[in-house]
Amino acid sequence: MGLQSAMTTALTGLQAAETTIDVVGNNVANSNTVGFKESDVNFATQFLQTRSVGGAPTTSSGGTNPRQIGLGVKVAEISPDFTQGTIEISSNPLDVAIQGDGFLIVQGPQGAGQRFYTRNGQLKTNANNEIVTVTGHRLLGFGVNEQNEIQTGVMTALSIPFGAAAVAQATENASLTGNLLPLGDIGDEPGILTSVILNNKNVDKPDDFSDGDIGQIQPPLVNSVTLTENTTGSGIGPDTYSYKIAYIDSTAAAGYNELPPSEATVALTTSGTGEITLNNLPIPSPGDTFITQKNIYRLSATSGKYELVDTIPAGDTSYTDSVAAPTTELDDDAIGNVNYSYFATFYNTSSGEESRPTSQPISISITETNRRVRIENLPTITDVTKFNSIRIYRNVDNAPESFYEVATLAAGETTFIDNIPDSDITSNDELDRNGPPISAALELVNVSMFDGSKYIDDLFKEGTLTFTGTKGTGDLAPKVLEITSTTNVGDLITFMEQALGIHTFSPDADNPIPISADGPSGGSITDSRLQFISNLGIANELDISLSAFQLKTDSGPAESVPLVFTQSQQANGEGAAVEFVVYDSLGSPITVKTTMVLESRDSSSTTFRWYANSADNQAPDGVDTTIGTGLVTFDSFGRFFSASESSVSIERRDVASSSPVEFELDFSAITSVAKQGEPSSLTLTTQDGFAAGSLTSFSITESGLIKGVYSNGTTRDIGQIQMARFTNNAGLEQLGDNLFAAGVNSGEPFTGDPGASGLGALTSGAVELSNTDIGQNLIELILASTQYRGNARVITAAQQLLDELMALRR
């Protein structure tokens, strides 16, 4: 029995040594396995053979100890060692190393309800972008909803959805910073832009003259006229007499119908009272059919002037003068020997309203003295309800570009004879070639402009008008106005006012837009000119270039509209401006320009007004770009004190975005202190909106939060890794594939975020190496080998003794 037990006891020693070698071999084999935990073999004695339980001390004996013979060794446990392994950086951003207690949670083959645990943080993505271990088990954690908010209810397989689109976010807050100089000019003078004079081409206007409508008429020739005295008559007393003859134009207006008079006839001295007969009087040329009468004027030595004695038919060749006392004196005024030009207008003698003149003058060069100019085919008034007369204008010798009224003729007159000297007309009304003024109700297609030499009657045509203004130091976004036959000047003013971003209304009734001495900001008609008054501040100053208006019609390419604006007053007012981008709910970028202008200051505060504009504002009517205004006040230390209004509202009516886009401007980081040599400045620091984007990369935090980085530059949560820890890690069941399962002696798993509640933290882009101690394991291997050989010797010794017993028979 004794030798047999020795052999069985030695056998248990062999088995123990084999177990140690197995465990050590596994440890060494997994020395390069990430997250592997080496195991230790712990032994215990087998049952003992008790030969005596011993005796207690007595009076005669000191007592004996038990006598027991051990029956061998057994494996008490094979316990994994969960000490921390070395952390090594890897090239895979998905890799995670656990520093501290805990396990990653993975999904078992039976679905999300089956959970396994691992320390191996070598992770990758599969074809479905799910995060899996190197052995293909899905990593579990908390997912996100459509707003990228972590959903902590139920664990799910985590994924990295590369290429997935992120929902855009509309801007709700925008923060500004900068410094606004408090000692600059207070804005009290706006910039003023004024156009050239425009006119209404739809008002009845005279047709142009033809070259043949003006000419000079030769005076009658009196070389052959003879005078004969007849003393038998009565009426003419004794004196010395001579005569002049003047033809009458029957087609000309009364008072302006006498052609140039002749030279004086030979003189006749009479001896008594009687009559004078004039023979061989001149007659008109056959072609001058408009001459139907002639006036006879007489000069006496006593009176010293020619006076009208009679009007006779133009064809009469003789006349007997018996008029004792003529009364109407000959008008022998004449125009000079210069070049003259004439314009005609239609005129209303009651209202003073006047049409624009003929587009081009009719001209003549006077070559002889005492000549008169005859103008025929005067324009015919079409709108007799508006005009009742025709005005004739002529330039003068010493001011050839200035035209003065010569005569005002009744409607229907067709011919005018001009003999009025320059000196008689320079005090008359001067011609305004710009024509009738425009009004807000006038259709744009009826707006004309005089450019100094000609009328531009097609200034505006039906089509698409694109307008690009300038504000501050930069061009504004182009805006479009569709011109139809009913689009009027008022529509153009409103369009330009909105396109230029002029603020005319404040949502804060207690702090309205300031009105300068020049009038309220906005567009108007002043003296038939378009006038635009900017908001206060240098940064709000307006400009309109020569190419600002481009008109595209159906008949050809876009052409410039030659509507010229000049700056009649420059704006003042300290301030600064900043342009930045915000986003609507679709992620579409919206450009916003915010301008701040010094409005007032006193001993305790400085106040600036902010103006916000956006070319992307889609107003319900028109192209309004104004989106907000208000006041910002700074205290006596230059610190932000208050804002009367800080809301910005941008309409988005032409897209599917939520409308309006409303966000708050934060002015609290702006200061207002004097800085030597530095201008006012304004910049955007942050805004919380962003465009839609696609996931391009990610990162994992120590707390296991997976953050996606999108192509739009934003970072959003896309998952939360969960970990588990157990009361007794050694009680876990090892499953292979670096996996553990909860065992009967491990305790229930406690789950949570990495780094919290006793769980280890994660290091991304790194792995935890095997904690196998090669040196220690090799020593254990040597010891196990020695143990094995020793137990084998025991068996050999027992066998030899048995062999001796068998040899006793011999």
Take residue 508 and report the two structure tokens written for it.
């804060």
CA 173 to chain centre: 18
| Residue-wise pLDDT tens digits, 699-709 | 899 999 999 88
Identify which of 321, 300, 302, 325 has the alpha carbon closest to the alpha carbon of residue 311. 321
Q: Per residue in 110-122, pLDDT tens?
A: 887 889 999 999 9
Residue range 243-253: average pLDDT? Answer: 93
Q: Which residues lie below 8 Å from residue 97, measured CB to CB, with a gap of 6+?
A: 87, 88, 121, 762, 763, 766, 767, 768
* Residue 810 in this model has a pLDDT that exceeds 60: no
Residue 2: which pLDDT band, with cuts at 50, 70 and 90? low
Higher-pLDDT residue of 802 and 359 is 359
Q: How confident is the model at residue 369 (pLDDT cuts 50, 70, 90)?
A: low
173-186+574-687 folds as: Tick-borne Encephalitis virus Glycoprotein; domain 1 (2.60.98)
> pLDDT category, 153, cuts 50, 70, 90?
confident
Q: Rounded to an integer, what distance in angstroms lies between the CA atom of residue 480 and that of residue 466?
A: 5
Nearest to 434 by CA among 451, 446, 421: 451
Above pLDDT 90, what percent of the chain? 60
Average pLDDT over residues 468-494: 94
Q: What is the pLDDT of residues 9-48, one digit of tens each?
A: 778 877 877 888 888 888 888 888 888 888 888 888 887 7
For 186-211, the pLDDT digits (tens) are: 999 999 999 999 999 999 999 999 99
Q: What is the mean pLDDT of residues 63-91?
A: 83
pLDDT at 50 over 80: no
Res 266 pLDDT > 80: yes
Distance CA 562, CA 199 (A): 14
Distance CA 456, CA 51 (A): 137
Kindly report the pTM of this predicted structure: 0.74
The span from the CA of 519 to the CA of 525, in Å, is 13
* Cα 703 → chain centroid: 42
Whole-number pLDDT of residue 782? 86
Planar angle of CA 165, 170, 172, nearest 5 degrees: 145
- For position 686, what pLDDT does the model report? 94
Eight-state DSSP code of residue 539:
G
Name the residue among 544, 574, 577 with its Cα closest to residue 561. Answer: 544
What is the structure's pLDDT at 476?
A: 92
Interval 283-314: pLDDT, tens: 999 989 999 999 999 999 888 999 999 999 99
**Given this model, what pLDDT does residue 809 score?**
65
Q: Sorting pLDDT into bands at 50, 70 and 90, what band is 370? A: low
pLDDT of residue 763: 92
Q: What is the pLDDT of residue 30?
A: 87
How would residue 453 be classed by pLDDT, with cut points 50, 70 and 90? confident
What does the pLDDT read at residue 450?
92
| Confidence (pLDDT) at 623 | 93
What's the CA gap between 11 and 542, in Å, rounded? 105
Q: Strand (E) positions, 181-233?
A: 192-195, 198-200, 214-216, 226-230
What tens digit of pLDDT does each residue of 769-808 get? 988 888 888 888 888 788 788 777 877 877 788 777 788 8
Q: What is the mean pLDDT of residues 517-540?
A: 95
DSSP tag of 508:
-
Q: What does the pLDDT read at residue 650? A: 94
What does the block give as tokens for 61? Answer: 């004996």
Mean pLDDT of 312-319: 95
What would the pLDDT profile of 673-719 be if each residue is shown by its tens digit? 988 778 999 999 999 888 888 888 888 999 999 998 888 778 888 89
Sketch the domain layout of the chain as residue ranges.
2-79+772-809, 87-159+701-768, 173-186+574-687, 192-200+439-569, 204-435
Mean pLDDT of the chain: 90
